[in-house]
Amino acid sequence: MQKLDAEVLTIGDELNRGEIVDTNSSWLAERLTELGLHVRWRSSVTDDEPDIAQALEQAAGRARVVVCSGGLGPTDDDRTVDVVARLVGVEPAADPDHEAFMRARFAERKFAITPNNLRQVRVPRGADVLKNRKGLAPGFRVAHRSAELYFMPGVPREMKSIFTDEAAPRIARLAGDGPKLARRTWRVAGMGESHVDHALAGLLDGIADATLHFRIAFPENLVTVIVRRADEREAREVLERVDADVRARLGDHLYGVDDQSLAQVVGAKLRAKGATLALAESCTGGLVGQLITSVPGSSDYFRGGAVVYANDVKSALLGVRDETLRAHGAVSRETAIELAEGARRVFAADWGVALTGIAGPGGGTPEKPAGTVDLAVCGPNTVEHRRLFWPGERDPVRQIAASAALHLLYKLLNRA
């Protein structure tokens, strides 16, 4: 099975000055690989027109599929449309659908349209327009030399949406008689990468044309298996057998597949039980609440939370006893449990989750160094505590703590 050669090209001064990490390039390379293409080149150039033109000319001469992001914004240094139009010998022209959408949206917000805004809805005349459902600048496809070239804005949200909805189906058709793919990503919490690796050793032994990939989505780990078969149904059947094996090996460290977040999975379980949740957060400062409420419809099961940063607020708002704070300190099993019980009571919820810890860099003691976090989960018939210690920076400590709290809740909801 011969794979099509692909090139990813990202465009933007800020990328080549290293001001932002070029995550688009990696994301696109991963998607193209999954579509069965061979990504032989990734390139990146500045906003200079001659460099963009040269890179496109080269890519179109060596790859069958070229996917580009960047340089489609409203400002004068966004040059991609002009360069591509010249390359294929046409003029730029406004795409009527995107222009109408922009005019409607600006009118709605009472924004004035500047000439720069109108730059953004242009495509090379006659190009195949790739609809942007998340923003103003359309993507587009043109043919040049032996290649199909796809263009998308650099804003990751818009790029991903256009690629998934518009570009990927076209590319899949182009790669049509290649192998069929079945893929799944399993999401793992509370287990380091090397332990996941160990638990899955030999997973694909005896299974031909299947590959295993690890990726860290801190603080969680992702495992992806891609199965390639001439027949799509066969690929899916093999994948289901692998799925059963992965589940047996990872137990309740495995909390979801593909795009499911811990907050989504926990939310679905709460909804299924008709149960509600309240939070008491100290060191995470609202992070767990933000994760829970990032799920649409979370108001069905989320009552609310208290961010109790100051100690007197822990007592006044959630009824943590002064003796508890005095005897055990704010970061302790006892305080965590009183916080979780307090959150349940004050917010009239079925489940209460509490986190209290020292995110650092300051505030640690020899007994409780920075990176120590006490978690508690209280439910109708459950009280569970766990102490974490993660000697690292402030943000990772908070992320690990939030993930561990949601994972503990997940496991208890599984058993309840």
Q: Tell me which DSSP letter residue 163 carries.
A: I
Give the SS3 label for residue 146.
coil
What residues between 37 and 66 interact with its own copies by CB under 8 A?
Answer: 39-46, 48, 51, 55
Cβ distance to its own copies smaller for residue 251 or 297: 297
Near its own copies by CB under 8 A: residue from 36, 124, 139, 305: 305
Cβ distance to its own copies smaller for residue 86 or 195: 195
SS (H, E, C) 197-242: HHHCCCCCCCCCCEEEEEEEECCEEEEEEEEEECCHHHHHHHHHHH
What residues between 226 and 265 interact with its own copies by CB under 8 A?
Answer: none
Near its own copies by CB under 8 A: residue from 4, 22, 79, 354: 22
Task: Based on the shown chain and the rule CB under 8 A, indicate whether residue 105 belongs to the binding site for its own copies.
Answer: yes
One character per residue 168-207, x = contact with its own copies (rule: CB under 8 A): ------------------------xxxx-xx---------
What residues between 127 and 166 interact with its own copies by CB under 8 A?
Answer: 134, 155, 157
Cβ distance to its own copies smaller for residue 127 or 253: 253
| Selection from 266, 282, 289 nearest residue 318 by Cα | 282
Give the SS3 label for residue 293.
helix
Residues 6 or more apart whose Cβ sits within 8 Å of residue 73: 120, 137, 153, 154
* Binding range to its own copies, per CB under 8 A, among 11-19, 168-176, 202-210, 319-327: 11-19
Contact 142, 158 (CB under 8 A): no
Task: Based on the shown chain and the rule CB under 8 A, indicate whether residue 322 belongs to the binding site for its own copies.
Answer: no
Token pair recorded at residue 41 = 């080149």
| Selection from 358, 377, 378, 359 nearest residue 368 by Cα | 358
Instruction: Supply the minimum distance, in Å, between the C-beta of residue 363 and its own copies.
Output: 8
Instruction: Supply the minimum distance, in Å, between the C-beta of residue 304 and its own copies.
Output: 4
Contact 127, 80 (CB under 8 A): no
Instruction: Supply the minimum distance, in Å, between the C-beta of residue 16 and its own copies.
Output: 4
What residues between 332 and 361 interact with its own copies by CB under 8 A?
Answer: 346-348, 359-361
Near its own copies by CB under 8 A: residue from 66, 159, 288, 355: 288
Q: Tell me which DSSP letter residue 259 carries.
A: T
Task: Based on the shown chain and the rule CB under 8 A, indicate whether residue 365 belongs to the binding site for its own copies.
Answer: no
* Binding range to its own copies, per CB under 8 A, among 79-87, 140-148, 214-222, 245-253: 214-222
d(CA 69, CA 266): 35
d(CA 164, CA 108): 28
Instruction: Supply the minimum distance, in Å, between the C-beta of residue 90 and its own copies.
Output: 25
Q: Tell me which DSSP letter residue 47 carries.
A: S
* Binding range to its own copies, per CB under 8 A, among 101-109, 170-178, 241-249, 319-327: 101-109
